[in-house]
A and B are shown apart, each in its own frame.
Chain A
Amino acid sequence: MTKFRFIFIGFMLTFLSSWVGLVLMPVWGLGNFKQTADPKTGEMIPPTLSSLEEEGRSVYIANGCIYCHSQQVHPARVRTDIARGWGERRTVARDYMNQEVVQMGTMRTGPDLSNIGVRNPSETWHLLHLYDPQITSKGSNMPPFPFLFETRKKDPENPAPNALNLPPGFGPGDEFEVIPSEEMVALVAYLQSLKLSSYEIPEAPAARIESFAE
């Protein structure tokens, strides 16, 4: 080959083919979902996130939770997601439509979080777990997030109502109290909002059948 222009046109065309197939087609096919009304309550689902939950998602993004936690429930054909209780059906595309930056993830060093808001709605549990995962999940390799809490001297007369109730052996000691920061409160609100495959969107029945195909 002695004419570079033909090589150039060729390799840009092969590139364009993948651009059309894997960028443009997904944008057309997966980029225009609309909310629907819940058949029972009439509310619009999947719900729009509140501003606090949105803020919590920024904390989730900034601290890279995605590198250990996925947010996708797979069908039962191959994996045990559903048997493990990570969701009652597989997640489908519309479930994610209100997530501005999707955190679907590719790694499960920790468990899947698609429906953590259903699986574990307790704010107290999440706060303790994020302060030090060893409190609630001994042997976990999740890092503690002390920097999302404020440790300050306790006023014995007037203890803060939102201070963590830490078990013995954890935290800075009795003279101090540990208060969740605003970022931490937002993060927990976001986690509690994660109920991705818990809504009765139109695709849900089909997704449920597929979830138990075999």
Chain B
Amino acid sequence: MNPEKAPASDPGAIEESRLQRLEIDLAARWPVGIFIGSSLVWLILGSLLAIAASIKLHDPAFLSENPWLTFGRVRPAHLNIVAYGWLSTAGIGIGLWILSRLCRAPIRDNRSLTLAAVLWNMGNAVGSWGILRGDSTAVEWLEYPTYAAPFLLVSFAFVMLESVGLIRRRPPGHIYISQWYIMAAFFWFPCLYFTAHGLLVLAPVQAPAQPPINWWFAHNALGLWFTPIGLGAAYYLIPKIIGRPIHSYYLSVIGFWSLAFFYAWNGMHHLIGGPFPAWLITASVVASIMMFIPVITVAINHHFTMVGHFKKTISSPALRFVVFGAMCYTLASFQGSTMAIRSLNGITHFTHYTIAHAHLGAYGFASMVFFGSIYYIMPRLLEREWPSRFLIRVHFWSCAIGFICYFVFLSWGGILQGLEMNQKETPFLEIVALTMPYLKLRTVSGSLMTLGHLAFFVSFFWMIASHRASIGEPTLFTKRIPDPDPIP
């Protein structure tokens, strides 16, 4: 099931396939380039806001004079900017490019898609400005005020139209699993956003019904939007880079349908113990446990495809990021299922443990896979190579080490916080004092992650700015290619 497998024996066919790929990349250059490039600007902004919010949690007087920079605005601004500015913007670009390659159809209307990219960025700019000036909706994951929503939805309509066009123009035959995931994500996300924004912000339903809709949306923003794009990208890139088909076609199908069904039902585990009917919460607890099915099938497929080829992560930056991300996906999902179990949720709910878990999914998995995808896509899109292997190395190690520290410290602090919160004798301020060292360590690890992002940012815009044509040889971690296969 190797995507885009060209008949290897016929030189004419190989040349034709190469020209087709060039045509596809040329058509995608502007829209995909703008989506990916602008996502990096949001990544940096989101990281700076994250550091500010993190410092405020152990040094509350930090930047507290200005209402625009109070914790309760900086934190949602961080979340929305990384979710819609970084992950979604990069996700749309990556999704469109992979779809276009897998459909073997160039993007036809790259003008409207370029407009979509501009509108999407305007939506994010207006929305995050709105949060900071005090117009946040305080609906978690949906803080962008209503005046940002039309930009996002109109932009997304263009993306959906083009994606349908790509699917319709594909040559007849097999549809690869990445196409399923990406198409599904492109349809699920607007349905999620439209429903939740309408029922929670535009014309709010009565208050007791709001949290279920809120967490149906917020959990699915990860589960039915970032996850399918990330999985689609990993399913595309792992076999492409190591040059062998995925482990099992049938498992990938089971993985897709079980994810589509169970993930959508997951969100209510954020409401365990709250004022809701038991069936509602139980439905989500069951669905969360059932997530073992899609996660195990995807884990088998990703990791077993890699078996025997791990040495390629020594040389290929794209592969190293994607494999790191795929491993985090497995971990995040296993952890998420256990966190839905009522007794464990009794410790972890309301604590920093949940924040650490959210970062394992959104950062360890989605962001790392997107980094890898961008390393793979950009040289093809621009016909240029990455300018510096040193910067890529800084990017990977800062982010990987920074993130592992972030996750370990914050989870540990969260468990202590949860255990103490369940001791009625422990005064609340003692719990605050107990979490302090972990909150400080979080600022340190988060700063390390931001250093990696800066290296990525410099690397990316250096590549754009340099007029040097392709040197013909990919920028790999090792100078000598350790394998006779051509490694992209």
**Cross-chain contact B428 with A101 (CB below 8 angstroms):** no
- Which residue of chain B lies nearest to A108 when distances are taken between CB atoms in the complex? B350
- Which residue of chain A lies nearest to B67 when distances are taken between CB atoms in the complex? A147
Determine the chain A residues whose CB is within 8 A of the CB of B61 once the complex forms. 143-144
Determine the chain A residues whose CB is within 8 A of the CB of B423 once the complex forms. 80
Total chain B interface residues with beta-carbon distance under 8 A: 86
- Which residue of chain B lies nearest to A3 when distances are taken between CB atoms in the complex? B175
**Cross-chain contact A84 with B424 (CB below 8 angstroms):** yes
Q: Return the CB mask of A13-41 against B: 1 if under 8 Å, else 0.
A: 01101110111011101111100000000
Q: Give B255-292 interface residues, CB cut-off 8 Å to A.
A: 257, 260-261, 264-265, 267-268, 270, 273-277, 280, 283-284
The residue among A91, A102, A148 with the most chain B CB atoms within 10 A of its own CB is A102
Q: Does chain B have a CB within 8 A of A61?
A: yes
* Secondary structure of the A contact surface, majority rule: loop
The residue among B65, B71, B195 with the most chain A CB atoms within 10 A of its own CB is B71
Q: How far is the CA of A17 from the CA of B422 in the complex (A)?
A: 36
Q: Does chain A have a CB within 8 A of B140?
A: yes
Determine the chain B residues whose CB is within 8 A of the CB of A21 once the complex forms. 265, 283
Which among A7, A110, A140 is the interface contact of B183 at CB below 8 angstroms?
Answer: A7
Q: How far is the CA of A95 from the CA of B276 in the complex (A)?
A: 12
**Cross-chain contact A64 with B75 (CB below 8 angstroms):** yes
Interface residues on A, range: 35 or more
**Cross-chain contact B183 with A94 (CB below 8 angstroms):** no
Q: Does chain A have a CB within 8 A of B357?
A: no
Q: Does chain A have a CB within 8 A of B359?
A: no
Q: Return the CB mask of B166-177 against A: 1 if under 8 Å, else 0.
A: 010000111100
Which among A84, A108, A143 is the interface contact of B351 at CB below 8 angstroms?
Answer: A108
Q: How far is the CA of A99 from the CA of B211 in the complex (A)?
A: 12
Q: Return the CB mask of B426-446 against A: 1 if under 8 Å, else 0.
A: 001100110010010000000
With A2-B175, A33-B208, A102-B207 as known contacts, state yes or no: A10 contacts B260, CB within 8 Å: yes
Task: Tell which of A68-76, A158-166, A172-180 binds the partner.
Answer: A68-76
Q: Give A44-100 interface residues, CB cut-off 8 Å to B.
A: 60-68, 70, 72, 74-75, 78-80, 83-84, 90-100
**Cross-chain contact B257 with A10 (CB below 8 angstroms):** yes
Q: How far is the CA of A189 from the CA of B140 in the complex (A)?
A: 24
Which among B138, B188, B208, B270 is the interface contact of A64 at CB below 8 angstroms?
Answer: B138
Which among A79, A108, A111, A143 is the interface contact of B70 at CB below 8 angstroms?
Answer: A143
Which A positions have Cβ atoms within 8 angstroms of B? 1-2, 4, 7-8, 10-12, 14-15, 17-19, 21-23, 25-27, 29-33, 60-68, 70, 72, 74-75, 78-80, 83-84, 90-104, 106-111, 133, 137-148
Which B positions have Cβ atoms within 8 angstroms of A? 56-58, 60-61, 64-67, 70-73, 75-76, 134-140, 167, 172-175, 179-180, 183-184, 187-188, 191, 195, 199-200, 204-213, 216, 220, 224, 253, 257, 260-261, 264-265, 267-268, 270, 273-277, 280, 283-284, 342-343, 346, 349-352, 354-355, 421-424, 428-429, 432-433, 436, 439
A-B CB contact pairs (8 Å), 14 listed: A1-B253, A4-B179, A22-B265, A22-B267, A27-B199, A64-B73, A80-B422, A80-B424, A93-B276, A102-B211, A103-B138, A106-B354, A140-B60, A144-B64
